[in-house]
Chain A
Amino acid sequence: MARIETEPSSTQVAEEYSGSVEHVKPASFLLRELVAHLRDNRTQLREEWARRITEAKLLTAMTKDEIFAEATSVYDNYVEALETGTFEALQAYARNLSERIIPRGVETREVVGIVLLLRDVLARSLFAKYQADFTKLNRILDAYEPAANRIANTVAVGFVQERERIIREQQEAILELSTPVLQVRERLLILPIIGVIDPQRARQLTEQLLRGIRMNRAKVVVIDITGVAAMDATVANHLVQTVEASRLLGATVIVTGLSPEIAQTIVNIGVDLGKMNTVGDLQGGIEQAEHLLGYKVVPFAEAS
């Protein structure tokens, strides 16, 4: 019996998948056959895959049930991506999956590993099915391989991007926590700096302080650098800039706690000390700040 088939040539199929990320032409005839095969054999292929994951000692941070549950989702999303030729759903799933498993300690090599294993498991089943017809096997692989590669790529990149996003967030959180801007009186802020100030931290510090001045309507800021061991000329300049920028917002800055080394650096780089209001220690700085703001602190006995 003759069957009329319009099988696209291999180059046509390849072209379909070399398009942009977003949308690619829907399944060709071969692809539909491929997808049908993957769907029909879903149960055993998925099990085979989960078995190989365990064998390769991947995803050790997760339980067998969890692996199986994720394997099911990944498998279904994989076949869906193959069928529709669109990868947005897969990208979204990859990001979602990454968000969930990164806190569990799953590493990039594991994620790339399991996706490649799935690719292998599915390829082997195709070899098994079409081994009698080499030409057809080739055509099926022409349809399968570019898509499978794209999928592996999408999942791996999604995972890495999610990791990078988390690292960036954590870095920002650490930076902000490390330089708290504290209000100790009406219109008076204290910025205690501890540790090493590199140019990035200096910049972040300045931005945080300026925002704090605006939010708290501060008129005086005491920047205490007792906890800063050393400062190079670049950072000293950043400090001077912070003082000047604060002034533009109407706030006076008092710098306290300069160590002998830092005092020397500042003199050496020729900073105009006339502009820098400095006091020996934090206590002195707060007292001067209160004076500037018109406060006078007296013991209860005196006040009555």
Chain B
Amino acid sequence: MEVPILKQGDFLIATIQAALTDADLLHLRTALLQQVVRRRSRGVIVDVTSLDVMDSFASRTLREIAQMIHLRGAEMVIVGIQPEVAFAMVQLGLKLEHVATALDLEEGLAHLKQKSESTL
């Protein structure tokens, strides 16, 4: 399933609408990186509000995407992790270390703006 990636000023917003297969996740990784390069984006928001489950592969892939995007000088924020999902994740030890998180899209954009202003 193709994850829609929208441009919002200097940032990209990828909204994950349903559980992704491993292949979908790898595809997303490639697509996001390409878009970051093409649009010269300074930040990426990955919105997982609609996800009701997060497995270890998804967690690892999101971490990898964050690291790759960071190498391009951009920031990534994951937004919309549901309380039940967060709870399940920490119990499984999926911590998404070194990946910024925010409550929702609004918070995510505020975070990115703040980050990009401080590095200018």
Q: Which residues of A contact B (CB under 8 A)?
A: 206-207, 210-211, 213-214, 217, 219, 241-242, 244-251
Contacts and interface: CB of A to CB of B under 8 A. Distances in A.
A244 B90 contact: yes
B83 A207 contact: yes
Interface stretch (B11-19, B26-34, B67-75, B96-104): B96-104
B87 A206 contact: yes
Contacts of B86: 210, 245-246, 248-249
Interface in B95-115: 95-96, 101-104, 107, 111
Contacts of A242: 90
B79 interface: yes
B20 interface: no
A17 B90 CA distance: 52
Given A210-B83, A214-B103, A250-B107, 13 more contacts: A211-B83, A242-B90, A245-B83, A245-B86, A245-B89, A245-B90, A247-B101, A248-B85, A248-B86, A248-B90, A248-B96, A249-B86, A250-B102
B103 A217 contact: yes
Interface residues of B, number: 18
Contact of B103 (A206, A211, A251): A251
B76 interface: no
Nearest to A243: B90
A248 B87 CA distance: 9
A248 B107 contact: no
A244 B83 contact: no
Given A214-B103, A217-B103, A217-B107, A248 B81 contact: yes
Interface in B41-99: 79, 81-83, 85-87, 89-91, 95-96
Contacts of A211: 83
Most buried by A among B81, B90, B111: B90
B87 A210 contact: yes
A214 B95 contact: no
A241 B93 CA distance: 9
A248 B101 contact: yes
Contacts of B103: 213-214, 217, 219, 249-251
- Which 5 pairs, one residue from A and one from B, show the smallest C-beta to C-beta distance? A210-B83, A250-B102, A248-B86, A250-B103, A245-B86
Contacts of B85: 248
A196 B69 CA distance: 45
A249 B83 contact: yes
A40 B81 CA distance: 67
A206 B85 CA distance: 12
Contacts of A217: 103-104, 107
B120 to A, nearest CB: 19
Given A241-B91, A245-B90, A249-B101, A214 B79 contact: no
A244 B104 CA distance: 17
Nearest to A240: B90
Nearest to B81: A248
Contacts of B89: 245, 248
A213 to B, nearest CB: 7
A241 B90 contact: yes
A245 B83 CA distance: 8
10 contacts: A211-B83, A213-B83, A214-B82, A217-B107, A242-B90, A245-B83, A248-B85, A249-B83, A249-B101, A250-B107
Contacts of A213: 83, 103
Contacts of A210: 83, 86-87
B114 to A, nearest CB: 10
A249 B111 CA distance: 13
Nearest to A241: B90
A47 to B, nearest CB: 57
